[in-house]
Structure 1
């Protein structure tokens, strides 16, 4: 008997001693069983599909398929009973999944995981919303997973504010909000698990923004829930067993990035969003925050000039079927020839959504359409290696100009969520500076800035007084690094003076990158901003002893200068994702970072 195989794009590759499947063909065929496969690389997809006998070996790839699932919990009978997040939060499934019933079809039981994930979160949300009324607030916050807590909190906030507007009791509710925020800050200052601390930090940021919204409503004298200033806010309603997100589609306020006001309007018109602006202005983070606020998966993709239309087409197929959002970072780095084809691909998806089709033809393939899918692109105009978007692509997106955000406000709210009490001060005076003329002389009295403002002033003065170097950075990423270092110090030294912790974070993060001639100027800047604050010597005795032993094994001298540089490298590793060590040849750069791996 002779078997004829048709439809193969090429003959099997026997060069490695066995039949090697065509990865593009596997992606094309298997992707329709589980749309999340479209977001995986070919190697990852083949590795998942090869693990047909042992479901446990798929665990390392779950993070790529499901944003919030780190691992799955198996029973003794190899049944999937729960999902576990990276913060070790466990949500039990409403039903049980038996991978053995799939008979080796990984894509089949992964599709069941997706169904159980949605249903279980919905059931848990129902229980949490009902338990809100019968449980003390501090206990309720710790009894439920973080995502459920934030969702249920937003539902109750919407209902309570609407009731306060109708009863004309917004000032009373504002006082209640302040008391609740103070209680949460006290909880953050205490002992919490890693997952609970992350949840509380996010909730404080949301509640501070909600408190500011209430203050704004009071100042304008709102009297009706139909007032534009209320309906333009992001509101959550619990109706018929589901959470509905409502807002007017001409304006959006996402926490602290208030410049991005037209993204929801773009979605209403079946267009994509295109935040545009310099680096560090919150383009990508705003898109991700908006996606989380409306419970959509947002897949961030870093574009490069090596992308082709086939790779983009594979990505779009997954988005169209998933109903997910995609954020293409640095979109204008793609070659102009590819952008022209991408414009046609995006246009076909948007036209199918406009026509309310259930299925449509995409590049010769009939696929399902989830109309909630959307595409966002971010661009840095004027940078080297960037392309001008073709006109047929520009019309598919609504451009949003992103300006430099308020660093001080971001710092205040972040420090507040870390448990810093002095992060935000109430300004009693209506003006910051008071000019008094007395005997023909001028005196200027300036209100003492908050800790967050001192961080911003430090970078502002450094940018003006220090030398110009390529590796000096005074933008949002630098501020964020200082905030991360301050959070770590607060956890390790909860009783230390807060000004000392912030100053220590500023010095530890910035001192290693400054050249020798800039160090005295930097010391003068922070001594003026933190008058009378003396930094205590850090307790590094144990670390120093370990470093001396490691250097001795390498036949290196443990000089005071070299030890200090190694410690600086080690501290940078703790607060940054990556770092660059700059110096002359034979300056000890390689040996310095290699020693840190032995600590």
Structure 2
């Protein structure tokens, strides 16, 4: 549990948990601090830490998206200081997610209105969104781009519906015909994988398997990035990925005990060397 957390921040009276802190030094304030006297048992307040972490991230994401949207409407110039202030206000995980949510919305508006991609491209250039530039470069040769074209559905789209009552269910990720909920597991500032066309194909394959309530299995020589690709997809979807090194002692009883843990916390299990 809590792979992205280093410590809990408690008030001076040692009566309530107010924040969590990552190993990189990021602090996530709880919108509703946890009163320790109400939950004296460790398993009770640990469960509340997990719940409050996800709820706080979900609500902070809505605030981050609102703040970023103002920059995407400034076509003439980007106030560098204001933008950096916005970046420093939120956790890196939410900064990346907010950019992806607003980018999805901006591209869809351009497609629906039939306008040029020049406006969104200028925004991307100002915010150095390299992957989005590549995506638009693939769409430009199409004579009549549509929302339903596979060239677009092939990539992840991020949708935030603030009308949903439960804050942790507001963000969903669409890829092809798969719709997956974001996990809101706080992951700190993980190292990012260099994304290639093969990575996109792997993401598409695994998300289709998840959509069909199945698992996935990569085959390739050792050291080519199979496990790291699964972990990177988990980061994209806000899921904690537990990696297990398989062996001959992994019988059905051992597997049952292993499955019980990730299933309870909504994490993924990645079984290395399963063959």
- Whether TM-score is above 0.5 comes out as yes
Aligned match for 1:102, one of 22, 30, 39: 39
Partner of 1:315: 258
Segment of structure 1 superposing worse, 265-274 or 162-171:
162-171
Q: Check the 8 A contact 1:99/1:109 in 2, yes or no.
A: yes
Name the residue aligned to 1:255.
195
User: Secondary structure at 1:299's aligned position in 2?
Assistant: strand
- Runs of 5+ in structure 1 lacking a partner? 1-64, 182-206, 333-599
Please tell me whether the aligned partners of residues 284 and 327 of structure 1 are also in contact (alpha carbons under 8 angstroms): yes
CA–CA distance in structure 1, aligned partners of residues 152 and 205 of structure 2: 17
Relative contact order, CA 8 A, sep 6+: which one is greater? 2
Among candidates 219, 240, 246, match of residue 174 of structure 2: 246
Q: Would you say 1:71 and 2:7 are equivalent positions? A: yes
Match in the other structure for 2:91: 145
Q: Residues of 1 paired with 2:216 and 2:86: CA distance? A: 37
Task: Pick closer, same or farther for the CA change 1:300–1:247 going to 2, 3 Å.
Answer: same
- In the alignment, which of 276, 279, 283 is matched to residue 226 of structure 2? 283
Cα distance, 1:106 vs structure 2? 1.0
Mapped pair 1:90 → 2:37: no
1:308 offset after TM fit, Å? 4.4
CA distance in 2, matches of 1:232, 1:108: 42
Structure 1 residue aligned with 2:240: 297
Maintained 8 Å contact 2:69/2:102: no
Distance in 1 (alpha carbons) for counterparts of 2:125 and 2:62:
27
SS at match of 1:276: coil
Q: Map of 1:123-522 to 2, 5 A cutoff?
A: 123-134=59-70, 136-166=82-112, 167-181=114-128, 207-239=129-161, 240-241=163-164, 242-249=170-177, 255-256=195-196, 257-260=199-202, 261-332=204-275
| Aligned-partner SS, 1:164 | helix
Q: 1:168 to 1:298 in 2, by over 3 A?
A: same
Q: CA 1:221–1:293 in structure 2 vs 1: closer, same or farther (change >3 Å)?
A: farther
1:115 aligns with 2:61: no
Does the C-alpha gap of structure 1 residues 172 and 123 become closer, same or farther in structure 2, counting only changes over 3 Å? Answer: closer
- SS of aligned partner of 1:150: helix
CA contact (8 A) 1:249 1:264 kept: no
1:549-597 residue CA offsets vs partner (Å, 9 max, x unmatched): xxxxxxxxxxxxxxxxxxxxxxxxxxxxxxxxxxxxxxxxxxxxxxxxx
Tell me the distance in 2 between the aligned counterparts of 1:319 and 1:304: 19
Separation of aligned partners in 2, 1:69 and 1:138: 24
- Cα drift, residue 134 of structure 1: 4.5
C-alpha separation in 1, matches of 2:226 and 2:108: 31
What secondary structure, in the 3-state scheme, does the structure 1 residue paired with 2:270 have?
strand
Shift of 1:114: 0.9
- Shift in Å, 1:133: 3.7
Residues 171 and 218 of structure 1 are in contact (CA less than 8 Å); yes or no, is this contact kept in structure 2? no
Aligned partners of 1:80, 1:281: CA distance in 2, in Å? 42
Corresponding pairs, count: 239
- Within 1, Cα distance between the matches of 2:274 and 2:266? 21
Q: Distance in 1 between matches of 2:273 and 2:225?
A: 13
Q: Residue in 2 aligned with 1:19?
A: none
Structure 1 length-normalised TM: 0.38
Does the aligned pair in 1 maintain the 2:139–2:145 contact within 8 Å? no
2:154 & 2:211 partners in 1: Cα distance? Answer: 14
Superposed displacement of residue 233, structure 1: 1.6
